Amino acid sequence: MMEWTDRHCRVFHRLLTKRARLYTEMVTTGALIHGDVARHLDFSVEEYPVALQLGGSEPADLAHCARLAEQWGYDEVNLNCGCPSERVQRGAFGACLMAEPALVADGVKAMRDAVTIPVTVKHRIGIDRGESYDFVRDFVGALADAGCEVFIVHARNAWLKGLSPKENREIPPLRYEMVYRLKRDFPALTLVLNGGVTTDEQITEHLCHVDGVMLGREAYHRPWWLAGWDERHFGEAPSGLSRDDVEAAMVAYMNRLVAQGEPWSRASRHMLGLWNGTPGARHRRQVWSDHRLKGESPAAVSSASRGERVDRLETQAAS
């Protein structure tokens, strides 16, 4: 979810669900140690509960970045051992770390020794074409011995050569039973399933076998789906929010960005799917993504997206 689940996206998603835990895009230890910490770690109080996902492999670096996560107020620090991209592999982290459980265990222990917030791990069920359950069982076992109690498991292998990241989300077969078996073998651990989930019915079925379900791109492209999660999966009362209410809240948030000197388009791009499946959705997407309107106020663009007459916008769009 690199460049997708940034802080603006998370504010938008929090408007839709108050209970689901939100995760940052993966931030590398190098970016935090050598780069602009505030740019990578700043977030809004509306996002809670929120977890920082780290990419890295050196225990000392991971411990340092976990301390930063705690200092900035994150609820959890999550180590990515599932990303298969070649760029990530060149940095010696992501899915290739599954081949080095002792190193990952050292990293987990270093982070746990450094912070009081939970340290969790996201990983695949295997790497390349190996289909041995023993491989992922031993990986989880080694990290559990180091103190990790929460595992987010993408139920596909990561093929480290020959597939793009997109193909790695589609071609290796889903094997949910592997994740279910991990939960049976490690009943005291929290096991969260990820991969290929597209309906509430599937979420409900998986929750019969594991402790949680993580959603990524499907939730991003169908954001209104999130609006029913608190009621359906957490037993909350209906929120009563409409899509108009959510857009109005985002307009207020974008006004805050403008007041801080930040372009509102950095936030609006994440809500282009809000109206998917409704009449006029295409027009709304076109208006919100029209670069010619980026000098207008968010409220004016919102009015134009609803088809209301705004002379200045119409004149500008026609020029």
Please list the pLDDT of the chain residue by residue as tens digits (319 residues): 777 899 999 999 999 999 999 999 999 999 999 999 999 999 999 999 999 999 999 999 999 999 999 999 999 999 999 987 776 666 667 889 999 999 999 999 999 999 999 999 999 999 998 889 999 999 999 999 999 999 999 999 998 887 888 888 888 999 999 999 999 999 999 999 999 999 999 999 999 999 999 999 999 999 999 999 999 999 999 999 999 999 999 999 999 999 999 999 999 999 999 999 999 999 999 999 999 999 999 999 999 998 875 445 544 444 3
Residues in the chain: 319
**Taking the domains of the chain in order of start, what are their residue ranges?**
7-233, 243-318
Question: Residue 245 carries which side chain, given as an amino acid letter?
Answer: D
CB contact at 8 A, 42 and 59: no
Burial of 255-278, coded b for 16+ CB within 10 Å and e otherwise, reads: eebeeeeeebbebbebbbbbbeee
Candidate list 83, 96, 148, 208, residue with the active-site label: 83
Handedness of CA 222, 223, 224, 229 (dihedral sign): positive
Active site residue 9: no
Helix (H, G, I), strand (E, B) or coil at 280: coil
Full-prediction pTM beyond 0.85?
A: yes
Q: Which of 93, 162, 95, 163 is nearest to 126 (CA)?
A: 95
Is CATH 3.40.50.10470 the classification given to domain 7-233? no
